[in-house]
Amino acid sequence: MKIRSKKLKQSAKDQECTLNIVDVCSYDNNTTVLCHINVLKDKGFGVKGSDLSAAFGCSNCHEHIDSNRLSELDMLFYTRRAILRTINKWIEMGLIDVVS
């Protein structure tokens, strides 16, 4: 199941990059977009993954992730950390409700 949310996609505008790849990140909030990450192996050429498998990424980090320039271990580290950071940001923004 793929989740599509215009609000989640638009929420990336002007946000800090949550990928923050060392020696790659530009820290330029003006280039941040919602980067779809292939966690579930459900994306491919021209096919985006779920919006819940996504993170805020500057143009440099986004291009680095999409071009598979990281080792498998680094890819796991950076993408999973970024997804959790992004989900926490969505909670802070009120886009995801937390039920206790």
- Beta-strand relationship, 54-57 and 33-36: antiparallel
The pLDDT value recorded for residue 52 is 85
User: Which residues, other chains included, contact 38 with Cβ-Cβ below 8 Å and sequence gap of 6+?
Assistant: 49, 53
Instruction: Return the amino acid letter for 74.
Output: D
User: Which residues, other chains included, contact 64 with Cβ-Cβ below 8 Å and sequence gap of 6+?
Assistant: 21, 24, 70
The pLDDT value recorded for residue 80 is 95
How far apart (Å, rounded) are the C-alpha atoms in residues 38 and 54? 8
Give this prediction's pTM: 0.87
Axis crossing angle, helix 72-92 with helix 59-66, rounded to the nearest 10: 140
CATH topology of domain 7-92: Erythroid Transcription Factor GATA-1; Chain A (3.30.50)
The token duo for 37 is: 């990450």
Provide the residue ranges of all domains of the chain, joining segments of one domain with +.
7-92
Q: What is the mean pLDDT of each run of 10 residues along the chain (100 residues)?
A: 86 97 98 86 62 94 92 94 96 92
DSSP letter assigned to residue 53: S
The pLDDT value recorded for residue 95 is 95
The pLDDT value recorded for residue 1 is 66
The pLDDT value recorded for residue 24 is 98
